[in-house]
Amino acid sequence: MKLLAPGTEIDGFRVRDCIHAGGMAHIYAVDYAQEGRNPGFAMAMKIPRMTAGDGAENIVGFEVEQQILSVLTGPHVPRFVAAGDLVRLPYLVMEYVAGQTLQHWLDTTPTPAARTPETIARLFAAVAHAAHSLHQQNVCHLDLKPANVLIQGDGNAVLLDFGLSCHAHYPDLLAEEMRQAVGSPTWIAPEQVVGVRGDPRSDIFAIGVMLYEAATGELPFGAPVTNGGLRQRLWMTPAPPRKHRADVPPWLQEIILRCLEPEAVRRYPSAAHLAFDLTHPDQVLVTERGHRTRRTPLFTHLRRWLRAAGMHYQPSPLPAQQIEETPILMVAVPHEDVTDATLYSLRQAVARSLGIRPGARLACVTVLSPSASSASDSERSETTLHRQHIARLRQWTQALDLSAHPVSYHVLESSDVAQALVRYAAGNHVSMMILGAATHGLQTQRFFATVPMRVARDAPCTVILVKQAVPFAQLGEQAP
């Protein structure tokens, strides 16, 4: 495919330099040919390769990307500008996003020892946040790999290349046109290998492959080139990361291997849950999986192979629906100026909410004023204070049935309680927040209404306000 010369004009766009020449497309820096017209951001034009030797997937992929990119919004995707006619000259004009790809980071940080667990967790939490944003819009990327993830200077992740993606509300052109597994072999999920598309947990698997490479310097399944090599991931789990690098912390291995489970139902139920664990590694529940140092026994792989041979893979619910079915719930638990009845009412509200949402995660949060923690004379006493409040939260949840629910405990510090709760909810993709009128430890009834009202007004999620219905002192009096 011949490169366009700088200065070429196409439908009102002036071509500048070619900034990328790949196997699937050429990308050019462009601007408007009309003087004075400025979109407010840099632009790039993507022109797919469509020569005689290129496959039909290039054409279909272009149609898919044009369809999906034009309806996506948010900080995790480039802004769509315009598209060209497929018959005359196909092209996509979109925002040019500055940053470096994860592939560039892997290439320039070649030794796994230089990739600290904290850095890996921070980078891939950003990737999980970006994937969650797509899933909320009922889109599965289905081609997540280091070259398609751009990290901006502020740490935000932007996802690129939607040619293999799937939108739950639009026809899946790739499924209609292709009769084979569609995806990049190194990162493709097991269900994609057998033709099931549209499951958001496929993107979680791909993130797990990238996490594995970042932590160990190795690819969990190599780079298969045959259908037989691809199908092995239907029943095989890779060598534990700690077999490659003994210094991989158990919490990170737990996260990676959960992402790489052959059966989608055993992975994280949503990218929000994955982002939560990567953001709060100290709260990760480490099982035998996290401490494993040997490969899965051959007998286990044989049993999985037999099960996979007769398994019928079913598409998941709509991505947004799956997020709603396994949400992250947050309860704001007060630590002072609160009655036992209020704590009891909060617990009952949490129990009801968890009871109808199997697999939901519970985050128990309490907020301390800076004066409370600064009153301690040393870092040790401050840590002790936090541990005391964590112990209180754990004691408060003892009466709850949490056997089917991940739970974590968090102590925040802020002089503005409402703002702290809202920020926590936004940063952790909380779907529902439960709090009580006396949650904030304020001294007058006038302020009890103010903080919950501010939270209800500003929170990016559903807010349930719980009031003390019957004080404990009156329970005995009402008994028959």
Cα gap 292→474, rounded to integer Å: 53
Cα gap 478→407, rounded to integer Å: 35
Question: Could you tell me the CA-to-CA distances from 195 to 38, 148, 159, 356 in Å, in that order?
Answer: 43, 22, 23, 32
User: Which CATH code for domain 9-95?
Assistant: 3.30.200.20
Enter the pTM of the model. 0.90
As a whole number of Å, the CA-based R_g of the chain is 25
**DSSP assignment of 164-200:** T-EETTS--HHHHH--S--S-TTT--HHHHTT----H
Sign of the Cα pseudo-torsion (276, 402, 340, 356, in order): positive
332 Rama sector, left if φ>0, alpha if ψ -120 to 50, beta otherwise: beta
Q: What is the pLDDT along the chain (480 residues), one digit of tens a residue?
A: 678 999 999 999 999 999 988 777 899 999 999 988 889 999 999 998 876 555 566 788 889 999 999 999 999 999 999 999 877 889 999 999 999 999 999 999 877 777 899 999 999 999 999 999 999 999 999 999 999 999 999 999 999 999 999 999 988 888 776 656 778 899 999 999 888 888 999 999 999 999 999 999 999 998 888 888 888 888 888 999 999 999 999 999 999 999 999 989 999 999 999 999 999 999 999 999 999 988 777 767 677 666 666 566 666 668 998 899 999 999 999 887 778 888 899 999 999 999 999 999 999 999 998 865 555 455 556 688 889 999 999 999 999 999 999 999 999 999 999 999 999 999 999 999 999 865 444 444 444 456 888 899 999 999 999 987 655 555 555 444
Which residue bears the tokens 């870092």?
A: 379
Fold of 327-478: Rossmann fold (3.40.50)
Domain 100-322 CATH superfamily? Transferase(Phosphotransferase) domain 1 (1.10.510.10)
Which amino acid would we find at residue 467?
A: K
Domain ranges of the chain: 9-95, 100-322, 327-478
Q: Which residues pair with 94 in a beta bridge?
A: 44, 80
Answer whether 235's CB lies under 8 Å from 308's CB.
yes
DSSP 80: E
Cα gap 206→134, rounded to integer Å: 14
Helices (H), 260-318: 271-279, 288-291, 298-309
Pairing of the two strands 92-95 and 139-140:
unpaired
Nearest to 227 by CA among 179, 261, 175, 271: 179
